[in-house]
Structure 1
């Protein structure tokens, strides 16, 4: 379902159904996501402490330094210690991909495409720049995304109504004044 369809469906909810949905989002679903993130953090701490084996992965910086040393994706099955964490980089079908899932990631890269919801393609070839005058990153004007495929990621910056804004969430399809919780003014 596209975001616009979801938004329209939510607008059509009765007040009672809206209350039920809101209670689920800020209650049960928030708790589930927080528990998932806590479990991922605990596993990472145990791996860092040497109490569980570390996954065979790379970071974006390691991939940029030597893309041939990036390990292949391996199906972790149900072994939580082998599942991927946010930021892990692996090779999959000739592409370098990075896990964008905030909790444990066991999905094969490309399951939902490479749109940033679970995995994204990592570009390690950077254009040459002049060492004496590095270019400042351009900040584009806010453009309403037409769906998840062109949604803003956490950290993306835009200009909107004369101010610069930074997305505080992944898959952000809202304007800063439509969903202020998804943006911070910088």
Structure 2
């Protein structure tokens, strides 16, 4: 962006420019803070409904009572963690990852339904009795189908 000479502006033009800069800066801050504010509002609403992290999954009726990213629920005898914000899907369908089993081993690899529940870099799974860690984001392949996407954990 080329510099410009502010001395050429009238006082009125400078005041208008300042208003525009302030408004744009404010807009950018709102856009940046919006997702965190929505996430907090959902968490507050969930708490008001009496839902606790790790509690039994309840089908959300809308985005207002959807589960935030990172929320944990129990469903059909397993513990699940939401992998997306505003999650309205049933665990085991999309947008959830089964939590590690009780012995500390990662959950068994399951075929992701798409980007919403694809494995991220650092995610660990148990596959064919071995523990693997994803080395890429958006990983929808099992360690046998795409070995370059996984690293065996010792």
Shorter-chain TM range is: 0.3 to 0.5
Q: State the TM-score, normalizing by the size of structure 1.
A: 0.38
- Structure-2-length-normalised TM-score: 0.45
Larger radius of gyration: 2
